Amino acid sequence: MEIKNTEDFNKHIKRVLVSEEEIKAEIKKAAAKIDALYDGRPILLVSILKGAFVFMADLCRAVTVPCEIGFMCAKSYYSGTVSTGVVQITMDLDRDVSNYHLVIVEDIIDTGRTLNDVVKMLKARNPLSLTVITLLDKPSRRLVEFEADISLFTIPDHFVIGYGLDCAELYRNLPYIAEYTEN
Ligand code: IMP
Ligand code: MG
């Protein structure tokens, strides 16, 4: 994939899978679920970078419970669009989570490996509670058993881009979620 101009960039966007309006509507519902779940208790939203940064930005402005935000960087290595199954924490949270209700904010659950590892690690630090919310879920691709507590969209086995999700670091800035095509 060599992107030299807007034309190169655009030709890999096959079709819009989830529109801006649909994302907005589902975030509103998901935020209401979080509000109901915590009922005024403060939470710590933890976003897994980089993919979840856009979702996090919209979700944190839609919840009304008192909320702090934190970031972690977990890399699941991809060669092109294929997962290689290696998960590494390249940036950890900057605080002790034992006094927090944690809400892990993820962009997509694919094989399930990233969240399976991250959740195991965070649970070992004894937070008050832990909930996982994901924007997208590709259940047909699961290699380890993992379910999010809240999932906004279930999608078929397509490689998707936009709204934070990348292909070789590009396309994160698309305001919608699209299907990626190689040519
Ligand atoms: P998992 O560990 O296989 O569940 O993969 C999770 C991570 O892989 C996500 O946080 C994404 O960063 C990345 N990923 C999985 N599927 C896609 C996709 O379709 N487009 C872009 N990134 C993806
Ligand atoms: Mg990624």
CB 33 within 8 A of CB 131: no
pLDDT per position as a tens digit, 8-66: 999 999 999 999 999 999 999 999 999 999 999 999 999 999 999 999 999 999 999 99
CA distance 107 to 109: 7
Quick: pLDDT tens for 56-97: 999 999 999 999 999 999 877 655 566 666 678 899 999 999
Look up residue 121 and give its two tokens: 């690690």
Ligand 1 interacting residues, C-beta cut-off 6 A:
51, 76, 83, 106-114, 159-160, 165
Ligand 1, atom 5, residue with closest C-alpha: 110
3-state secondary structure of 21: helix
Q: Which of the residues 58, 94, 110, 157 is marked catalytic?
A: 110
Q: Is 168's pLDDT higher than 90?
A: yes
The band of 1, judged by pLDDT with boundaries at 50, 70 and 90, is confident
Q: What was the pLDDT predicted at 80?
A: 59
Share of the chain above pLDDT 70, in %: 95
Residue 152 CA to ligand 1 center (angstroms) comes to: 15
> Which of 12, 75, 82, 83 is the pocket-test mutation for ligand 1 (most atoms within 8 Å of CB)?
83
What pLDDT was estimated at residue 85?
63
Average pLDDT over residues 150-175: 97
Atom 9 of ligand 1, residue of closest alpha carbon:
108
Q: What is the 3-state secondary structure (H, E, C) of 38-76?
A: HCCCCEEEEEEECCCHHHHHHHHHHCCCCEEEEEEEEEE
- Ligand number with the minimum distance to the CA of 107: 1
